[in-house]
Structure 1
């Protein structure tokens, strides 16, 4: 399993929190929140790719390890 830097965990948590905020929104509010979630998601994906390149680990392995690390340390923010 790839080692997951704290920065990747922080970015993934942020993206998940933005995703959770979509719940119950409609119309323009949903669209605006969706853009915030996509931007947060893009940031984590870019960081995962960079870390995989720098560490020599597989990109998918790094992504899976990051998601596992976040899910193992917190409840699903959509449920809160």
Structure 2
């Protein structure tokens, strides 16, 4: 995987999606309860696609780098 620079806005969007996912899975499934996570995940996907096209990088590699960086940041905060 190439060394991809991750914009802070993408990192923050992914971290917000991660937090929404953690909250969603702690409750019984309902469309209303999971909507914040689904909306956040959609926002991340659109932003990653847009940034990859603008930067001329692999969308897949950018997405994986963003997810990894967000996961590491979340773990560092405990």
TM-score range, shorter chain: 0.7 to 0.9
Tell me the TM-score normalized by structure 2.
0.86
- Name stretches of at least 5 consecutive residues in structure 1 with no aligned partner: none
- Across the aligned residues of Structure 1 and Structure 2, the Cα RMSD in angstroms comes to 1.8
Q: 2:19 matched to 1:22?
A: no
Rounded Cα–Cα distance in structure 1 between residues aligned with 2:57 and 2:26:
38
Write 1 or 2 for the structure with the bigger share of helix. Answer: 2
Rounded Cα–Cα distance in structure 1 between residues aligned with 2:26 and 2:39:
20
Tell me the TM-score normalized by structure 1.
0.84
* 4+ residue runs over 2 A deviation: none
Count of residue pairs the alignment pairs up:
75
- Name stretches of at least 5 consecutive residues in structure 2 with no aligned partner: none
